[in-house]
Amino acid sequence: MSISALEIVKEFLTLSNFYVILKNGFLIVKNSERVNREINDFVIEKEKIVFIDKGIIKVISWHTLKFTPSVIKKFSSEIFEIVEESVYKELETFFEKEKYKKILVIPGLPATTSLKNESIKIMKEKGIDHIILFSTIISGLINKIDERKLYQSHTLETIRILKFYKFLSDKSFNTFLFDEK
């Protein structure tokens, strides 16, 4: 687990009005606003993250790997520790037996439809409710940063400075991430 990656996700969720607790390498989140919408998509886009009511999030920062079926099977015990009985019992008390989502933040899915669908199928079968791509978190965080405001967080302040000097403009970021011209 990368502390930097965990911090980026935590900062994004905090700026998105979530209460966030870091415990045992997981992020335990509760939306500070009342949520009355269900998320039907397995892959959550940044516009729908605000519809998460409460959950546990595991950040997997293997940025050089796509979550292919073979990667998921090889690292299954590490990936799916958020669905283990011991974690469930602890969160059941924390959330007062209310339902919560089990979410992975991952670097990416395979490009081919068949491998992508198989990866999603495996994650669903193992008990994962949703995934969020790390690129979704980063682009969402950059969008939330006001380049004219000062931040207490080193992470947010670094992003603010890069954004102020146009190193993180929407066009350059999208070109870098998605090769859009």
How do residues 88-102 score in pLDDT, each as one tens digit? 888 888 888 788 999
Which residues, 6 or more positions from 120, have their beta carbon under 8 angstroms from its beta carbon?
A: 42, 43, 109, 131
Both structure tokens of 12? 């994004």
As a whole number of angstroms, the distance between CA 158 and CA 125 comes to 39
Return the H-helix or E-strand segment holding 162: helix 154-164
Q: CA nearest 177: which of 131, 123, 140, 130?
A: 140
Contact present, 67 and 108 (Cβ < 8 Å) = yes
pLDDT band at 177 (very low <50, low <70, confident <90, very high): low
Which of 112, 102, 5, 99 is closest to 69 using CA atoms? 112
- Nearest residue to 31 via CA among 49, 52, 11: 52
Question: DSSP string covering 97-123, please?
Answer: T---EEEEEES---SSHHHHHHHHHHH
pLDDT in tens, 114-151: 999 999 999 999 999 999 999 999 999 999 999 999 99
